[in-house]
């Protein structure tokens, strides 16, 4: 059955905090047909649902999780011919890199991209690398890319001695880079995760953390001395969802709900993270709320579909969005039940649509950077 979420308004004083803004419904016929095809194709298909998907997609997922968790899971299902990734483009690319030759990865809607990933195009990164080479030997720079990037960017890192990172292991990857003797880290595409990791977790002074602005000519708006002095060079990118949280929001929530814990994703801005009680990855947020004592209260700084789901799953706790409005991943929302049904109907009739294929060269080096990350985190465990 489809879930329908109605707006719930929490009011205190003059402020109205809108916790649920989505009203999602799917026709009974679409729901029935998807379940029918899932049953028919169960030995050939696996459906993956990212945490940020809306509930009327999650209800059909065989597994939910973050992007890398889902990609790794799909790669273990060697008997499933089709991996339907209900997420965004870079996630499906990662699944294709890790999956077997007998598997095909499908994105239900090709318009489901990621604005953060799009902020670091491969040609921009190549140009930036060339620009930096005029100031310092690039052998002294370790390129590290956040998981939220294209396969081409992951391949660039793999080929140049770098690695991929996630929001939960970013510090481990940074530590590894410096232990290898690299003098600097070039991190993309999320400046906020990079800055928060470098400063709050590693204690690197802010004057040694600089921002390369790819929209500017030459050295990205930096001077030669700034680059030489930097330990971490950040790319000018951000998450369009997490940038909406403002430093005033923790203050508002604490005034409304004394004792509430503010828990945010490290993609939030530097000033928001400074005011949070807890900071961590999506999995960290989920696990923290799941294991908290009954009666605990949280204002959560992340995508609102996940916040809403946590509120429903743990009614013995108070869970609300950190912002007084919904922060939704608009591109993730493009994955609709109707699009999913179209993919399943196509598979059933022998027509494969929206397949995601990473070329062999990029896949080779992207796999290297992903494996490097796994080796680093395994060694640290």
pLDDT, tens digit, 9 for 90 and up, residues 351-371: 999 999 999 999 999 999 999
pLDDT, tens digit, 9 for 90 and up, residues 309-352: 999 999 999 999 999 777 788 888 889 999 999 999 999 999 99
- Tokens representing 152 are 């081409």
pLDDT band at 17 (very low <50, low <70, confident <90, very high): very low
Q: How many domains does the chain have?
A: 3
Question: Where in the sequence is the domain holding 161, given as residue range(s)?
Answer: 117-239+362-380
Domain-embedded: residue 81: yes
Same structural domain, 248 and 222: no
- What distance in Å separates the CA atoms of residue 238 and residue 252, rounded to the nearest whole number? 24
Of residues 262, 260, 305, 254, the one with CA closest to residue 280: 262
Of residues 123, 116, 171, 174, the one with CA closest to residue 149: 116
Domain-embedded: residue 16: no
Same structural domain, 266 and 367: no
- What distance in Å separates the CA atoms of residue 231 and residue 146, rounded to the nearest whole number? 17
Same structural domain, 374 and 231: yes
Same structural domain, 225 and 274: no
CB atoms within 10 A of CB 106: 25
CATH number for the domain spanning 252: value is: 3.40.50.10800
Same structural domain, 109 and 169: no
Same structural domain, 233 and 366: yes
Q: Are 107 and 89 in contact (CB under 8 A)?
A: yes
Domain-embedded: residue 376: yes
- Tokens representing 161 are 């001695």
Same structural domain, 136 and 280: no
Same structural domain, 109 and 162: no
Same structural domain, 235 and 371: yes
> 317 CB contacts (<8 Å, ≥6 apart)?
289, 292, 294, 295, 296, 297, 298
The pLDDT of residue 292:
98
Domain-embedded: residue 179: yes
Share of the chain above pLDDT 90, in %: 81
- pLDDT mean over 126-146: 97
- What distance in Å separates the CA atoms of residue 175 and residue 188, rounded to the nearest whole number? 16
Selected residue with higher pLDDT from 12 and 29: 29
Domain-embedded: residue 197: yes
The pLDDT of residue 379:
75
Domain-embedded: residue 327: no
pLDDT, tens digit, 9 for 90 and up, residues 48-84: 999 889 889 999 999 998 888 888 888 888 889 999 9
Same structural domain, 171 and 104: no
Same structural domain, 86 and 130: no
> Which residue's entry shows tokens 């999913």?
340
- What distance in Å separates the CA atoms of residue 94 and residue 360, rounded to the nearest whole number? 13
Counting beta carbons within 10 angstroms of the beta carbon of residue 113, is it exposed (0 to 12), middle (13 to 18) or buried (19 or more)? middle
Counting beta carbons within 10 angstroms of the beta carbon of residue 125, is it exposed (0 to 12), middle (13 to 18) or buried (19 or more)? buried
> 293 CB contacts (<8 Å, ≥6 apart)?
none
pLDDT, tens digit, 9 for 90 and up, residues 79-105: 899 999 999 999 999 999 999 999 999
Q: Are 148 and 114 in contact (CB under 8 A)?
A: yes
Q: What is the mean pLDDT of the chain?
A: 90
Domain-embedded: residue 346: yes
- What distance in Å separates the CA atoms of residue 63 and residue 40, rounded to the nearest whole number? 18
Same structural domain, 87 and 177: no
Counting beta carbons within 10 angstroms of the beta carbon of residue 28, is it exposed (0 to 12), middle (13 to 18) or buried (19 or more)? exposed
- What distance in Å separates the CA atoms of residue 26 and residue 36, rounded to the nearest whole number? 15
Domain-embedded: residue 252: yes
């Amino acid at each position: 059955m489809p879930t329908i979420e109605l707006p719930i308004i929490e009011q205190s004083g003059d402020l109205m905090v809108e916790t649920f803004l989505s009203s999602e419904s799917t026709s009974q016929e679409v729901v029935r047909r998807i379940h029918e095809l899932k049953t028919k194709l169960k030995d050939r298909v696996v459906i993956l649902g990212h945490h940020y998907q809306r509930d009327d997609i999650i209800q059909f997922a065989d597994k939910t999780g973050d992007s890398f968790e889902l990609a790794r899971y799909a790669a273990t299902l060697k008997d499933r011919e089709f991996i339907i990734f209900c997420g965004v483009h870079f996630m499906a690319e990662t699944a294709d890199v890790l999956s077997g030759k007998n598997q095909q990865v499908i994105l239900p809607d090709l318009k489901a991209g990621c604005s953060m990933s799009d902020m670091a195009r491969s040609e921009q990164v190549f140009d930036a690398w060339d620009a930096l080479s005029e100031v310092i030997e690039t052998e002294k720079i370790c390129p590290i890319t956040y998981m939220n990037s294209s396969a081409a960017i992951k391949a660039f890192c793999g080929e140049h001695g770098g690695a991929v990172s996630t929001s939960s292991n970013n510090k481990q990857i940074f530590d590894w880079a410096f232990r290898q003797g690299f003098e600097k880290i070039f991190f993309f595409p999320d400046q906020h995760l990079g800055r928060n990791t470098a400063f709050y977790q590693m204690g690197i002074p802010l004057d040694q953390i600089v921002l390369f602005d790819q929209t500017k000519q030459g050295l990205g708006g930096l001077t030669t001395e700034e680059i030489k002095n930097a330990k971490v060079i950040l790319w000018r990118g951000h998450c369009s969802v997490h940038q909406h949280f403002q430093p005033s929001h923790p203050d508002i929530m604490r005034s409304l709900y004394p004792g509430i814990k503010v828990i945010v994703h490290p993609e939030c801005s530097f000033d928001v993270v400074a005011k949070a009680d807890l900071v961590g990855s999506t999995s960290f947020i989920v696990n923290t709320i799941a294991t908290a004592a009954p009666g605990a209260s949280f204002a959560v700084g992340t995508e609102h579909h996940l916040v809403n789901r946590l509120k429903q799953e743990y009614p013995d706790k108070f869970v609300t969005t950190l912002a007084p409005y919904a922060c939704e991943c608009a591109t993730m929302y493009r994955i609709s039940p109707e699009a999913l049904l179209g993919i399943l109907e196509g598979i059933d009739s022998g027509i494969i649509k929206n397949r995601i294929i990473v070329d062999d060269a990029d896949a080779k080096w992207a796999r290297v950077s992903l494996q490097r990350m796994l080796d680093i985190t395994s060694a640290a465990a």
